[in-house]
Amino acid sequence: MENGRRMPPNSMEAEQSVLGSMLLDQDAVAAAMETLTEEDFYAPAHQVIFSAMAQLYRSAQPIDLVTLVDVLEQRNEVTKAGGMEYIAQLSRTVPTTTNIGRYVAIVEDRSALRSIIKAGSEMVDEGFRADKPSGEVISAAHDAIYSIITRQRTDSLRPIMEALGEAFERINEAALSKGGIVGTPTGYVDLDAMTAGFNKDQLIILAARPGVGKTSFALNIAQNIAMGQSLPVAIFSLEMSAGDLAMRMMCSEAEIPLSKVRSGQAKDDEYVKLLNAMSTLSTAPIYIDASGGATVPEIRAKCMRLSAQRKLGLIIIDYLQLMSSGRAGRGDSRQQEISELTRGLKILSRDVGAPILVLSQLNRDIERRQNKRPMLADLRESGSIEQDADMVIFLAHHDDMHGEDDEDENVGENLAYAILAKNRNGPTGEVTLRWIPEYTKFVAYSDREEL
């Protein structure tokens, strides 16, 4: 007990063994410095000692008893560090420096537990305050826990043998796959041939001008995956309601004009088709969250719960510029906030083990050009989006790129392109699609005779 309260989690023996190992072995220094900070140590004396060691490490000086004491004397912190006798004793109490990895892991684990306790205590205090809306408190709680989770990552430096094993698994998957599709098929054969499907740790950006149909294309992909592959798809809509999205999917599946359904002008036989489409869709593993204002930690928590039941095939977010980092008031620019969001989404795809398709706006510069074929520079707040994305797919109509006076009699306002402008692990290019606006549906151009 400490002051009548429970002692926060800590291991004095592990902390002493880390510091003692660092005094004896330079390899131990590197192992500790890679993972720990002075705040990870519970004992104030150990924080002071590790801070002095970090100063020596940053200046590329050797760490031993003499150099450590010298720095502590310069900082007038020998007494804070426990005194000369205690410092000298550290190196004598280490069982063996070869176990430095385990000592570091114990210190890191206890530090994480203390951080959880602190975050929980702060959540309780915030919960009792009446001057903040609950949404802001929840967002802060998510951020606190998420920061602890991201600190726990241990997959930084790995021996090449592990990486080679992972690479061979992917090679084997490709060899055994049908048609070279190793990821989740989108249902668009030509697009899948270029991308090999959407892979589990990929961040894919789908961008287009307003009104081109990026939400419709994303929903078409969701239906193809959920109904064709029986894989769960999670959709986070920050703009449209769940009912609106469901209506679009029903009309697309039934091939009934959306405008007729909305205006109540559908005929009896069309209502029968709608009921059949509803029956089909009702069994599809599609999950919609239209609560709005989603943050990365909130999406992560919901997807982790869903993936615990069954492996996710795809996560869709509509759309990036409506997302919030949950840290309003920090003074960050919108570009910085978007950068934080895209990095968080990329990490999320790895954590959940599912590809993430994020819809994005284009900036207004494209409207000033005669040729409105999208380019990577047209991505709104483009720097971090282009950098973090594994794929960037632009959606554009034929007339936007070629003008209305194109002489090709086979093209028209319903011809569209999915332009793969960035593909980190494969070729770039474009896929021709046919847009059926009344059904809010994109189909492969090769299917045009069936329309």
pLDDT score for 327: 54
Percent of the chain with pLDDT over 90: 30
Average pLDDT over residues 370-384: 75
Low-confidence winner among 131-135, 207-211, 311-315 (lowest mean pLDDT): 131-135
> What is the pTM (predicted TM-score) of this model?
0.66
List the structure tokens of 441. 């549906």
pLDDT confidence bin for 223, thresholds 50/70/90: very high
Percent of the chain with pLDDT over 70: 84
pLDDT score for 447: 54
Average pLDDT over residues 429-442: 89
Average pLDDT over residues 99-112: 92
- The residue ranking higher by pLDDT, 184 or 322, is 184
- The residue ranking higher by pLDDT, 322 or 190, is 190
pLDDT confidence bin for 278, thresholds 50/70/90: confident
The CATH architecture that domain 12-151 belongs to is: Orthogonal Bundle (1.10)
pLDDT score for 72: 95
Q: Which residues contact 337 (CB under 8 A, 6 or more apart)?
A: 324, 325, 327
Residue recorded with tokens 């899948």: 192
List the structure tokens of 169. 């698994």
Chain region(s) in the chain for CATH 1.10.860.10: 12-151
Average pLDDT, the chain: 82
CA nearest neighbour of 81 among 107, 60, 51, 55: 51
3-state secondary structure 297-327: HHHHHHHHHHHHHCCCCEEEEECHHHCCCCC
List the structure tokens of 48. 């002071």
List the structure tokens of 186. 């989108």
pLDDT score for 191: 92
- The residue ranking higher by pLDDT, 383 or 68, is 68
Sheet holding 233-237, edge to edge: 286-289, 233-237, 314-318, 356-361, 203-208, 391-397, 415-423, 429-436, 441-444
Q: Is 12's pLDDT higher than 90?
A: yes
Q: How far apart are CA 225 and CA 313, in angstroms?
A: 7
Do residues 342 and 384 make contact, with C-beta atoms less than 8 angstroms apart? yes
Q: How far apart are CA 303 and CA 299, in angstroms?
A: 6
pLDDT score for 175: 65
Average pLDDT over residues 19-24: 94
pLDDT score for 382: 59
Do residues 25 and 100 make contact, with C-beta atoms less than 8 angstroms apart? yes
Integer-rounded Cα radius of gyration of the chain: 28
Q: Is 381's pLDDT higher than 90?
A: no
pLDDT per residue as tens digits for the range 78-93: 999 999 999 999 988 8
Do residues 95 and 20 make contact, with C-beta atoms less than 8 angstroms apart? no
pLDDT confidence bin for 153, thresholds 50/70/90: low
- Other CB atoms within 10 A of residue 443 CB: 18
pLDDT score for 21: 94
pLDDT per residue as tens digits for the range 160-177: 776 677 777 766 766 666
Chain region(s) in the chain for CATH 3.40.50.300: 179-450
Average pLDDT over residues 408-423: 77
Q: Options 3.50.50.60, 1.10.10.520, 2.30.38.10, 3.40.50.300; which CATH number does 179-450 get?
A: 3.40.50.300
118: left (phi over 0), alpha (psi -120 to 50) or beta: alpha
Q: Is 139's pLDDT higher than 60?
A: yes
pLDDT score for 449: 42
